């Protein structure tokens, strides 16, 4: 079995002492030959995170952790919580030893500081993102209108996929992303994949906080109860199985 964290807690603690702010100080007596905190961060990230978040956090199956809008809205507490506890119901694993993972608190601190060091405040040119967390559940009805006006041009009417982007109502997609993950996706976009952030969905006017909350409520309303249910439902009982129109036995 591959051990995910090879840094001892003591070594990691030694790295943190003497670091002031986000810049990495030189290591006086590190047992690691790698040299400085930045490279410890890089190797922790490469080993534990890059498979999903991409090389150097530039995006992969999961979002880029360098996304300037994401880093502007998520505070260190939110980033730490995601790493420590994971995001239940999604592929994002819990890494804290207290939650069954392999990373010490010190290693998680190195990751949080390292991810924070990717922030580029200038990248947003002074624009302020809507808040990280929704303050109310939003309106599905208004959200449908926001979707038609700001999203359907790429994702197709009803979100089923269009000329410029895929489906955002696919049951398996919606089954693997959290409500917060949808909010993050709408605000931060996936620039590395050509998905605009909250400023670029609709020409000329960024989405308001309320519009983001409403369109996320609409996406949530598209979730199905039994995504990818493995057993075809017998036609004789009157169920409609969209995935198995021929009634093939699976
Ligand atoms: C197996 C794939 C996988 C691995 C490995 C993984 N992540 Fe994630 N991560 C995800 C997914 C998927 C999400 C989005 C979850 C959701 O739907 O909210 C996510 C979300 C996050 C978020 C954002 C949470 C939020 O909404 O504010 C952070 C921060 C994060 N991951 C950090 C990390 C770090 C650091 C590591 C390595 C220690 C890591 N992830 C490893 C898949 C992964
Ligand atoms: C200019 C085209 C465009 C517009 C407008 C647009 N998107 Fe996207 N969106 C994309 C592309 C490209 C992707 C990347 C995946 C793909 O190709 O389908 C994407 C991905 C997504 C994802 C998945 C993110 C992930 O982490 O996998 C969600 C959710 C999403 N868009 C929601 C929306 C919503 C809601 C709106 C309207 C507020 C919107 N998009 C407007 C192009 C667009």
pLDDT value, residue 137: 97
Measured from CB, residues less than 6 Å from any atom of ligand 1 are 48-49, 51-53, 62, 65, 74, 78-79, 82-83, 87, 90-93, 95, 111, 177-178, 180-181, 184
Residues of the chain with pLDDT under 70: 1-36, 230-250
Please give the distance of CA 68 from its chain centroid, rounded to a whole number: 13
128 is written with which tokens?
Answer: 């302020």
CB 44 within 8 A of CB 32: no
Q: Using one digit for the tens of pLDDT, what is the confidence trace for 143-162?
A: 999 999 999 999 999 999 99
Q: What is the pLDDT of residue 225?
A: 84
Which residue has 């995006």 as its token pair? 59
In this prediction, residue 232 carries a pLDDT of 56
* Res 233: pLDDT: 55
Distance in angstroms (rounded) separating the CA atoms of residues 199 and 221? 24
Q: CA 146, CA 113: separation in Å to the nearest integer? A: 36
**Span from the CA of 126 to the centroid of ligand 1 (angstroms):** 27
pLDDT of residue 231: 65
Q: What's the pLDDT at 230? A: 65
Contacts of residue 27, Cβ cutoff 8 Å, sequence gap at least 6: 14, 15, 18, 35, 36, 37
User: Residue 159 in contact with residue 150, Cβ under 8 Å?
Assistant: no
Distance CA 8, CA 219 (A): 43
pLDDT score for 204: 87
Q: How far apart are CA 126 and CA 139, in angstroms?
A: 29
Q: Give the closest residue (by CA) to ligand 2 atom 10.
A: 195
CB atoms within 10 A of CB 246: 7
150 CB near ligand 2 (under 6 Å): yes
Burial 31-62 (b: 16+ CB within 10 A, else e): ebeeebbeebbeebbeebbeeebbeebebeeb
């Amino acid at each position: 079995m591959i051990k995910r964290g090879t840094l001892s807690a003591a070594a990691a603690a030694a790295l943190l002492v003497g670091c002031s702010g986000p810049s990495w100080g030189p290591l006086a007596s590190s047992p690691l030959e790698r040299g400085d905190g930045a490279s410890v961060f890089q190797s922790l990230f490469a080993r534990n995170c890059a498979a999903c978040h991409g090389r150097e956090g530039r995006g992969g199956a999961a979002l880029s952790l360098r996304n300037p809008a994401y880093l502007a809205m998520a505070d260190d507490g939110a980033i730490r919580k995601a790493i420590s506890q994971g995001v239940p119901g999604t592929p994002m694993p819990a890494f804290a030893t207290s939650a069954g993972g392999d990373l010490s608190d010190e290693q998680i601190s190195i990751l949080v500081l390292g991810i924070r060091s990717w922030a580029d405040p200038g990248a947003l040119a002074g624009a302020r993102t809507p808040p990280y967390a929704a303050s109310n559940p939003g309106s599905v009805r208004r959200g449908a209108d926001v979707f038609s006006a700001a999203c359907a041009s790429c994702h197709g009417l009803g979100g089923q996929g269009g000329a410029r982007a895929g489906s955002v109502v696919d049951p398996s997609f919606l089954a693997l992303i959290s409500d917060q993950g949808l909010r993050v996706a709408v605000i931060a976009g996936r620039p590395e994949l050509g998905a605009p952030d909250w400023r670029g969905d609709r020409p000329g006017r960024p989405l308001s906080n309320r519009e983001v909350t409403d369109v996320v409520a609409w996406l949530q309303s598209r979730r199905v109860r039994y995504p990818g249910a493995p057993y075809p439902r017998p036609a004789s009982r009157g169920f409609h199985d969209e995935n198995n129109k021929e009634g093939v036995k699976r």
